[in-house]
Amino acid sequence: MPIMNVIKNNASGNMLCYKVPYEDFNVGSQLIVAEYEEALFMKDGLVENSFGPGKYSLTTENYPFITKFMSKLLTGGVSAFNCKVYYINKSHHLELKWGTGSALRVLDPVWGIEMHVQARGAYTVQVKDGKKFFLKLVGANGSMEENEIVRNFRTAFIQNITDELANYLTSQDAEVLVSINRKKQLADGLAPMLNEILDEYGLELVNFYIESIEVPENDDSMKRVREMRIQRKEREFEREQNVEDERMRFSLRRESSEADRYVSGQMAHADYERMAIRDQDGNNGWARQEAAEIMRAAAKNEGIAGGIMGAGVGLGMGVQMGDVMGQLMGNNNSIMAGNGEPKVICSNCNAVVPAGMAFCGNCGTKVESKKPKCASCGADLIPGMKFCGNCGTMVVQQKKKCTNCGMEVPEGMKFCGSCGSKVEE
């Protein structure tokens, strides 16, 4: 076997560890290590030294450890040494594939249905500690390719990936079909865990990717979830329609109520206007009309009238009602109180004013005595006139009545001949 003067890595790019096929080297040989490499020197099963990127001249003066490698071989008068040299490739190794293989069974946190989930992706590794990587993973094999990384870590990766994936999907508040679309969030959570596995062998996880997480389209659980989703949407739509219908009915009831209140208000206002028109003469016309309506209703109700007459009170009631109606319908605004004292109705506020008061005690309006009116044409008559100045009808002089007992008092009498009360002028 020839003795080498130049030591370098002649392996292909997919090799993680490459053993130089020669073991005898001249003292003063050139060692070439690329930027992405690390060179290990081994003698008798021990890694004596390692070299990083650069070009090195291997002499005993520069590297005293080579003295232990010296042999009795001479090549052209130059001493030689014997050792094994390994190159460790420390570049990034991309697109190392992984996949769950068989479907992962998880319970959907929303529907409570067993779902069958499959996942796949890729990852990137790099040799972080060349000596540790060589001693723990390469060993006596002498060399290692990228695909051997996948084979060696497949079981450990899939175990941790499936456990974490199942825990993640069942701990979310969303459906499995929603959570499986959050691939980056899950990948970021898995990367530190997987990196701990690789670190034990001198490797480092640079990137971890999840290409897809999916439930097979023909899976029965997928069909069941689709059906329940449709049913849920239908129920939500029905609830929204019911709420909208109730809102519309409430709006219609409110508008109807407002319309009723408006009509009631208009009717009340119309009643008030009619009362005001009827009372324009100040003679309590509204009360007189109501009393007349009562009398007409009582006259039409023969059953009630007959019962009252049969009880022996019809005549008295008729007299009393006639007095009240006569006073209300008369040509003045005086009425008799319960004790027989004459009282006047204020033409402004309709309050009862005791006879003889010049002003209303309620509103202060001046109380004007009503002038006598012509029985034929209703024109005002001036006291002392014997004929109406408007139509010429003879004026019938009304006799005075006692304000206490109601008896007629002849002209010129100052006291009632019945009760002795003073007759007011």
Give the residue-averaged pLDDT of 241-269: 85
Give the residue-averaged pLDDT of 170-194: 88
- CA dist 122 and 148 (Å) reads 15
Task: Give me the count of residues in the chain.
Answer: 425
First to last CA, the chain: 168
Instruction: Specify whether 399 is located in the same domain as 419.
Output: yes
What is the token pair recorded at 398? 């009304």
Instruction: Specify whether 23 is located in the same domain as 48.
Output: yes
Higher pLDDT among residues 371 and 184, named by residue: 184
Contact 149, 93 (CB under 8 A): yes
> Per-residue confidence at 292, pLDDT binned at 50, 70, 90?
low
**pLDDT given for residue 88 in this prediction:** 93
Does residue 80 sit in helix, strand or coil? strand
CATH (domain of 185): 3.30.479.30
333: pLDDT strictly greater than 60: no
Give the residue-averaged pLDDT of 332-360: 65
What is the token pair recorded at 259? 């319309």
271 DSSP assignment: H
Give the domain-ending residue among 216, 238, 257.
216
Instruction: Specify whether 100 is located in the same domain as 212.
Output: yes
337: pLDDT strictly greater than 50: no
> Per-residue confidence at 338, pLDDT binned at 50, 70, 90?
very low
Domain that holds residue 134: 93-216
Range in 40-44, 113-117, 339-343, 401-405 with the lowest mean pLDDT:
339-343
Higher pLDDT among residues 83 and 296, named by residue: 83
- CA dist 386 and 176 (Å) reads 113
What is the token pair recorded at 195? 């990196």
Instruction: Specify whether 74 is located in the same domain as 189.
Output: no
Distance from the Cα of residue 115 to its chain's centroid: 32
**pLDDT given for residue 205 in this prediction:** 92
**pLDDT given for residue 7 in this prediction:** 92
Please, which residues have CB within 8 angstroms of residue 186's CB and are 6 or more apart in sequence? 164, 165, 168, 210, 213
Instruction: Specify whether 123 is located in the same domain as 204.
Output: yes
318: pLDDT strictly greater than 50: no
pLDDT digits (tens, 9 = 90+) for 47-99: 999 999 999 999 888 888 888 887 766 555 567 888 899 999 998 877 788 88
Instruction: Specify whether 125 is located in the same domain as 203.
Output: yes
* Averaged pLDDT of the chain: 79
Secondary-structure breakdown of the chain: helix, strand, coil percentages, each rounded to the nearest 5:
40, 25, 35
- Residue whose C-alpha is closest to residue 348's, from 337, 338, 333: 333
Higher pLDDT among residues 331 and 225, named by residue: 225
Residue 394 lies in a domain: yes
- Residue whose C-alpha is closest to residue 392's, from 404, 409, 377: 377
Residue 419 lies in a domain: yes
Helices within 61-182 (DSSP H only): 130-133, 146-171, 176-179
Instruction: Specify whether 189 is located in the same domain as 106.
Output: yes
Residue 29 lies in a domain: yes
What is the DSSP secondary-structure string of 99-129? Answer: E--SPEEEE-TTT--EEEEEEEEEEEEEES-
Give the residue-averaged pLDDT of 241-258: 87
10: pLDDT strictly greater than 50: yes
**pLDDT given for residue 206 in this prediction:** 92
Count CA within 13 A, CB hemisphere, residue 346. 17
Task: Report strand pairing: 144-145 vs 15-19.
Answer: antiparallel
**pLDDT given for residue 74 in this prediction:** 59
Instruction: Specify whether 156 is located in the same domain as 142.
Output: yes
- Residue whose C-alpha is closest to residue 146's, from 124, 119, 120: 124
Give the residue-averaged pLDDT of 288-315: 56
- CA dist 122 and 209 (Å) reads 5
Give the domain-ending residue among 156, 181, 216.
216
Residue 338 lies in a domain: yes
Give the residue-averaged pLDDT of 310-339: 46
**pLDDT given for residue 66 in this prediction:** 86
Give the residue-averaged pLDDT of 136-160: 85
Residue 81 lies in a domain: yes
**pLDDT given for residue 223 in this prediction:** 83
Range in 82-91, 118-127, 260-269, 293-302 with the lowest mean pLDDT:
293-302
**pLDDT given for residue 334 in this prediction:** 46
229: pLDDT strictly greater than 60: yes
34: pLDDT strictly greater than 90: yes
Return the axis-axis angle of helices 314-329 and 302-310, rounded to nearest 10°.
120
**pLDDT given for residue 303 in this prediction:** 53
**pLDDT given for residue 215 in this prediction:** 87
Instruction: Specify whether 79 is located in the same domain as 99.
Output: no
Instruction: Specify whether 382 is located in the same domain as 355.
Output: no
Instruction: Specify whether 100 is located in the same domain as 209.
Output: yes
Residue 336 lies in a domain: yes
385-386-391 Cα angle (round to 5): 90
Residue 321 lies in a domain: no
Task: Report strand pairing: 408-409 vs 400-401.
Answer: antiparallel
User: What total number of domains does the chain contain?
Assistant: 4
324: pLDDT strictly greater than 60: no
**pLDDT given for residue 202 in this prediction:** 92
40: pLDDT strictly greater than 90: yes
Give the domain-ending residue among 32, 65, 89.
89
Residue 284 lies in a domain: no
Instruction: Specify whether 84 is located in the same domain as 101.
Output: no
Higher pLDDT among residues 403 and 164, named by residue: 164
Helices within 311-411 (DSSP H only): 314-329
29-35-38 Cα angle (round to 5): 60
Give the residue-averaged pLDDT of 216-245: 85
Task: Report strand pairing: 54-58 vs 4-7.
Answer: unpaired
Does residue 400 sit in helix, strand or coil? strand
**pLDDT given for residue 405 in this prediction:** 82
Distance of CA 339 to CAs 49, 336, 404, 417, Å?
Answer: 139, 8, 8, 19
161: pLDDT strictly greater than 70: yes
Range in 256-265, 286-295, 369-378, 388-397 with the lowest mean pLDDT:
286-295
Neighbours of 256 (CB within 10 A): 10
Range in 143-157, 248-262, 333-347, 400-414 with the lowest mean pLDDT:
333-347
Neighbours of 298 (CB within 10 A): 15
**pLDDT given for residue 312 in this prediction:** 43
- CA dist 47 and 88 (Å) reads 13
CB burial of residue 393 (10 Å; 0-12, 13-18, 19+):
middle
**pLDDT given for residue 203 in this prediction:** 92
**pLDDT given for residue 208 in this prediction:** 92
- CA dist 187 and 120 (Å) reads 11
